[in-house]
Amino acid sequence: MRGGAEGETSASVVAPASAAGTSASASNASADAAEALRGPAGTPEDPAPSHRMRALLEELYPLPRSITGDGLRATLRVLRREVPGLTLHEVPSGTAAFDWTVPPEWNVRGARLVAPDGRVVADLTRHNLMLVNYSEPFRGRLPLAELRPRLHSLPDRPSAIPYRTSYYRRDWGFCLPHAELAALQGGTYEVEVDTTLAPGALTYAELVVPGRSRDEVLLSAHACHPSLANDNLSAVVVLAELARWLAGEGRRLTYRVLFAPGTIGTLVFLSRTPRARERVRHGLVLAGLGDDGPLAYKPTFRGDAAIDRAADLVLAELGPHVRLPFAPTGYDERQYASPGIRLPVGRLGRTPPGTYPEYHTSLDDLAFVKDASLAQALAALKRIVTVLEEDERLLSRAPYGEPQLGKRGLYEDTDTREQREALLWTLTMADGHSTFLDVAERSHLPTRELTEAKRRLERAGLVDRVGDDDDADQRH
């Protein structure tokens, strides 16, 4: 991994993540990329998901996103094209969202900084990060000494353009590579910031995939950063692909997919959906899934929720990964963990925010995001969803002694040791109280083997599912 957890020093590397571990991580990413591309058992690999994610990443990257405005709308409309059923919501400026208020809508038409010799020093058409996001409009001429406080750079990364915002404070400014900033000559500069701040709306997008149960899984990704590929377009495109997969077949659980601006967008969503909050049983924030670090999981506030257990099991099967400590920093998991909300929402990402040099700079470009990393993240999410879907209590229909498996075609010479043990562990714990997660944690067997064992036993009529009383109360 490229650094420590978000200000914490107690992140645990669950498998080696040294130089050798980094190599192993890349190898695992490639292997799980293949799994993510694979269709139903026995069918050839399907390259479409990886191609779709890369094409979507490239299409969304240049859009001038912010927490409001037409760049955000354009992004969400592209996602609506890719994710059938995705609904866009507009929330007016001035709307209260708990302790926050939706700000005026910001739009940008252009921005330039011209040197005394006529040379264009900064131009929005060169890179979206060159203008401080949410800059108020300004037109005028300023001497360099007066202009300097409004110019931002990164001396330790002289070729990078930093990402700066001014969402809740009226201001304007430009961001430059430090090498270019240091070379500026004295004199009067021409400034043009062609933006608007006016009453409008904040836009977010939501998809609900109904299941047999009203219990919900919440999956969210922030979609507000302009021209930053890993943070967070990588998670946006993975979530879009996951949403397509979720909608492709019947589910036990209901899935709510959210694309929203960071912080304010999530707070708006939470403040508008109190009844939906009551139904959330599991959740994940997705962020920074495209770099070459190992997958990293940040647990829920409680730390032992079903989503924590499912993520731990799946990531252990995938290989080297990191378990971060919970901290009230990072992305929107901190909103879901606030005292009045307290939803069981963890976070899946890779290298934590603020700990890699490309973070919030122009170095976080399309080349920084690896297709194999996106595919591995997609594979991990599909496995986590499968574990949550299977996490029910089972009750044996033959609880007195071990049932005879051979006469039901469940004891074959071709069975592997893991296949037989998966059947026996599932039967042994089919007491009406133990869940799929209990079986997986106790047996230390692969979740895929246990999933198949459970289904074989169900088909043979040896176990029944327990606890789906609300399945009939569906299609909300």
**pLDDT > 70: what percent of the chain?**
88
User: CA-CA distance, 351 to 340, in Å (whole number)?
Assistant: 29
Cα–Cα distances (Å) from 427 to 52, 96, 361, 431, in that order, read 41, 52, 53, 8
User: CA-CA distance, 224 to 222, in Å (whole number)?
Assistant: 6
Confidence grade of residue 33 (pLDDT, cut at 50, 70, 90): very low
Q: What is the pLDDT of residues 422-472, one digit of tens each?
A: 999 999 999 999 999 999 999 999 999 999 999 999 999 999 999 754 443
User: CA-CA distance, 243 to 237, in Å (whole number)?
Assistant: 10
pLDDT number for residue 249? 86
Confidence grade of residue 46 (pLDDT, cut at 50, 70, 90): low
Average confidence (pLDDT) over 200-224? 98
User: CA-CA distance, 427 to 463, in Å (whole number)?
Assistant: 8
pLDDT > 60? residue 232: yes
Q: Is 370 helix (H, G, I), strand (E, B) or coil?
A: coil
Structure tokens at 315: 């990531």
pLDDT number for residue 43? 36
Q: What is the pLDDT of residues 287-320, one digit of tens each?
A: 999 999 999 999 999 999 999 999 999 999 999 9
pLDDT > 90? residue 20: no
pLDDT > 80? residue 22: no
pLDDT > 90? residue 474: no
Q: What is the pLDDT of residues 96-149, one digit of tens each?
A: 999 999 999 999 999 999 999 999 999 999 999 999 999 999 999 999 999 999
Q: What is the pLDDT of residues 339-375, one digit of tens each?
A: 999 999 999 999 999 999 999 999 999 999 999 999 9
Confidence grade of residue 8 (pLDDT, cut at 50, 70, 90): very low
pLDDT > 60? residue 52: yes
pLDDT > 90? residue 31: no
Confidence grade of residue 41 (pLDDT, cut at 50, 70, 90): very low
pLDDT > 70? residue 19: no
Nearest CA among 57, 75, 52, 131 for reference residue 261: 75
**Segments in 83-198 forming alpha helices (H):** 144-147, 178-182
pLDDT > 90? residue 225: yes
Burial label for 31, CB within 10 Å (0-12, 13-18, 19+), is middle
pLDDT number for residue 469? 47
N- to C-terminal Cα separation, the chain: 42
Q: What is the pLDDT of residues 259-284, one digit of tens each?
A: 999 999 999 999 999 999 999 999 99
User: CA-CA distance, 56 to 78, in Å (whole number)?
Assistant: 8
pLDDT > 70? residue 238: yes
pLDDT number for residue 467? 72
